[in-house]
Chains A and B, each alone.
Chain A
Amino acid sequence: MGAIIHNSMIKSPPKVHLIDYGVGNLWSVASAIRYLGAKVDIISDPDKISNSSILILPGVGSFRKGMEALRNNSIDQAILHAVRDNDSKILGICMGMQLMGSSGTEDGQTLGLGLIPNTVDRFSKEKLDGKKVPHVGFNEVNFNERSGLFRDFSTTHDFYFTHSYRMLVDGLNGNYATCSYGETFLAAFQVDNICGTQFHPEKSQTNGILLLRNFLLN
């Protein structure tokens, strides 16, 4: 692991807005952010989301239900406004990352937020070679880039996954990290102010804490 930067340059602790759309466990993500000494507010009001400068989109469940929950409350438009017009940074975690894609096939074909062009599909059965789905547990993530979201990481680190659907790397125009489970899939990415992790940084010990710190430092 590279040299850890010192915190003396920090003017004031960042304030993170965690998007609550009725899907997923917000508690653990909030705890990890607080551990780092940053502030967390859990919000669902689209106006507040529009005006937030640091957003985290968590999520567990099916792609279709997730997108429906975002659309029903106009949270999708608020996120797009914050990220595209205000340059707010956003981190999607697990299904939150998947929802950033252009579409998903879980529970029927559904359009995503379209922040990145990638699509979300089930793990390819032929390539799994008897491996079980969902993919659950700590697995190795390979980093090509060591800057931004991936600052202070070396080539391989373990992160906690639990998912049945995945995105592939093709078409992504930015920095990324990959994991292998039958096939190589997208484990984490950063395209300017837009970040995502298929794994759960809040469940991945210091590896995840470091990644969350990087997201806030960015």
Chain B
Amino acid sequence: MLKKRVIFTLLYDDGFFMLSRNFRLQKVGDLKWLKKNYNFSKLSFSIDELVVLDVTRGKRNQDKFLDHVRALSEECFIPIAAGGGIQDIVYAHQLISNGADKIVINSLISQNIKTVQHIASELGSQCIIASVDVKKIKNDFIVFTENGTKRQTFSLDDYFYKLMNVPVGEVYLNSVDRDGTAQGYMQGLIEQIPGNYKLPIIISGGAGKYQHFMEGIKNERVDAVSTAHLFNFVGSSLKEARFELLNEGLALAKWDMSICESMQGFFECESNTKG
């Protein structure tokens, strides 16, 4: 049986990792900070997948972002999805060759479907995650692109019908309203997805404690739950959250976290460390 997933999403803006609230960004720290104060390599043993998004509000520096993806992938033994500002096949390839296993696209779906098809023909559609940002306006769920700045004309369910003809492997559904609020995932969001839409769904926006993950995962239409909240899951809380979810009997993958230390440097023999 395929397992459900807990995903951590890192938001990146020009060399820094960010905290986002309703898509307004706040600088938290750089890669060094993340590795040192956050013990990222250890934290990654508590998640099933990592998503890294370049949400730079100004001009993106792609080479710099690629360096960050590569550095993260060095200490993280799970699938990594990376995206933000992908406009062509060349950059999609670069992300993959710098440690990403999947790429994440959003605005490109509305801007240039041909490029999406080209990327899918080269990398396979299973390598592509369609990210969908949605805001609730009155009682309608409306899709926004371009870092949440551009309102699209269609509602969420219409967008899903459109997505049925787009070669992607899964959908990352993010609530702008709940983003960074830690109030729980947006109610009613999953119900907007047409019943005949069969691809895996990742939900994001609003998780602040493990109970939110639990509510998300228990929904049979949800394959994965994500959080981008750096502070709510700092320290051991992500590890504890995973423990609680497994305790509840939820179908997550299992591995023995306690052996990561004995495995690290396993083959560095005494003569090697001395010499």
Contacts and interface: CB of A to CB of B under 8 A. Distances in A.
A40 B2 CA distance: 32
B99 interface: yes
B267 A134 contact: no
Interface string B91-121: 0000011110100000000000000000000
A149 B159 CA distance: 47
Nearest to B260: A206
Interface string A19-54: 000000101100110111110000000000000000
Contact of A10 (B77, B99, B169, B269): B269
Nearest to B263: A209
A12 B98 CA distance: 30
B139 interface: no
Interface string B47-86: 0100000000000000000000010011101110000000
A7 B266 contact: yes
B257 interface: yes
A138 B253 contact: yes
B198 A31 contact: no
Most buried by B among A136, A138, A139, A207: A138
Given A209-B260, A213-B266, A31 B126 contact: no
Nearest to B45: A205
Contact of B259 (A10, A12, A140, A206): A206
Interface string B126-157: 10000000000000000000000000000000
Nearest to B46: A205
Contact of A28 (B99, B126, B265): B99
Nearest to B98: A27
B79 A160 contact: yes
Contacts of A38: 267
Contacts of A25: 96-97, 99, 101
A183 interface: no
The residue among B5, B48, B257 with the most chain A CB atoms within 10 A of its own CB is B48
A4 B262 contact: yes
B191 interface: no
A157 B255 contact: yes
A138 B3 contact: yes
B268 interface: yes
Interface in A202-218: 202-210, 213, 216
A206 B267 contact: no
Interface residues of B, number: 42
B271 interface: yes
Interface string B243-260: 000000000011111011
A35 B255 contact: no
A206 B44 CA distance: 11
B219 interface: no
B124 interface: yes
Contacts of B265: 35-37
Given A25-B96, A35-B77, A205-B78, A7 B256 contact: no
A27 B70 contact: yes
Contact of B3 (A34, A35, A158, A203): A158
Contact of A14 (B5, B260, B267): B267
B268 A139 contact: no
B90 interface: no
B165 interface: no
Contacts of A132: 198-199
22 contacts: A1-B256, A1-B259, A4-B259, A12-B271, A14-B267, A28-B77, A35-B265, A36-B267, A37-B267, A37-B268, A134-B169, A136-B2, A136-B126, A136-B200, A157-B254, A160-B79, A181-B2, A203-B79, A204-B77, A205-B253, A208-B77, A209-B259
Interface of B: 1-3, 5, 45, 48, 70, 73-75, 77-79, 96-99, 101, 124, 126, 169, 198-200, 253-257, 259-260, 262-272
Interface of A: 1, 4, 7-8, 10-14, 25, 27-28, 31-32, 34-38, 132, 134-140, 157-158, 160, 162, 181, 202-210, 213, 216
A-B residue pairs, 3 tightest by C-beta: A138-B253, A37-B268, A158-B253
